[in-house]
Structure 1
Amino acid sequence: MPDPHASPADLIRAVTLGVGRLVTGGMNEPQQAALLDELAGYYAEYTDVRHPFAPLGDTPLRTRQELRNHFADAVIQSRSAGEIEFAPSDMTVHQTADPEVVIVEFSYRGSASGQRFELPCIYVVRARGGEIIESRDYGHHVESTRVFGGLGNLAAALANRATRA
């Protein structure tokens, strides 16, 4: 059950910390399932989350279940990176004239397979009644793909799209 008094900044802090714990791993199946439910629970049942800079195009996430699946995919992607450290850092929250909307600047920092990385992010988040109802997540998708060992797959997918165009 969402906290109706949670601010947009509180919610995005909770989400980014949860994603860090999720990607770092070390949880048994029930713990992971509970964290996936917790993360999806920060969002309204019907929401609008987009990743405008996604290299293969943006697929809006419209429901809690879609978000839960999205977070679960992050776990699958991170497993190929070996031992991983992954946590949000240097978070700055910019309040806007609309009390429902914040702009959040931060980076996910850590290491994967012994290599240090930084993934800069800017999220524009709208929350109401303690739930995120809309978010535009601008992250460094190519660097994230590199960190988790997926550049070859991304290059092949982009080449496949180019030949179909």
Structure 2
Amino acid sequence: MSTAQSLTAHEVFHRLVGGVAGLAAGDMSQVERLAALYAEETYVEHPASPHEMPPLTSRADLRRHFTEIAQWIQQIDNYRAERVTIHDTTDPEVIVAEFVYTGGGQDGAFDIPCVFIMRVRNGEIVSSRDYFGPRIPVSG
């Protein structure tokens, strides 16, 4: 059994958001680690995105996606996932993760509320619907 096959959906999710935080901190090796969390053939969509984003359907698509977002995410201070709640469903492959990406920059601190609905099979993400809310300024 490979390491990926031994990962639960919860563990895959935590590696995903941890890897994104590492990528934001400048660790470009996270691109490959993040892409490896997805099945070779996958289906990732961002239904609420204001930008027209076609679904990501392969590990290569995810590799390109994470390389592209590194350019803007590395401009954010202390970008990380917080207030994580993971809901199990009646389907053992599917979880619903609610969380907030937090960070800061020239315009101050902010939150981005998120909900990911992920299907994880054999330790790999085979599909995901990733919903990102608007960037909300945080005072304090």
Same fold per superposition (TM over 0.5): yes
Structure with the greater alpha carbon radius of gyration:
1
Bigger proportion of residues as helix: 1
2:127 aligned partner? 134
Structure 1 unmatched ranges of 5 or more: 147-165
| Secondary structure at 2:6 match in 1 | coil
Q: Distance in 2 between matches of 1:3 and 1:129?
A: 7
1:68 aligned partner? 63
Q: 1:111 aligns with which of 99, 104, 108?
A: 104
Matches within 5 A, 1:7-156: 7-25=8-26, 27=27, 32=28, 34-79=29-74, 81=75, 84-113=77-106, 115-140=108-133, 142-143=134-135
Q: Deviations over 1:15-53 (max 9, x none)?
A: 01100110122x4xxxx1x31111000000000000001
| TM-score using structure 1 length | 0.76
Alpha-carbon deviation of 1:135?
0.2
Q: Distance in 1 between matches of 2:109 and 2:115?
A: 20
| TM-score using structure 2 length | 0.89
Runs of 4+ in 1 over 4 A off after TM superposition: none
Q: Deviations over 1:57-101 (max 9, x none)?
A: 33100011110111111111234x3x6110101110000000000
The aligned amino acid for 2:118 is V
Aligned length: 136
The aligned amino acid for 2:7 is A
The aligned amino acid for 2:34 is L
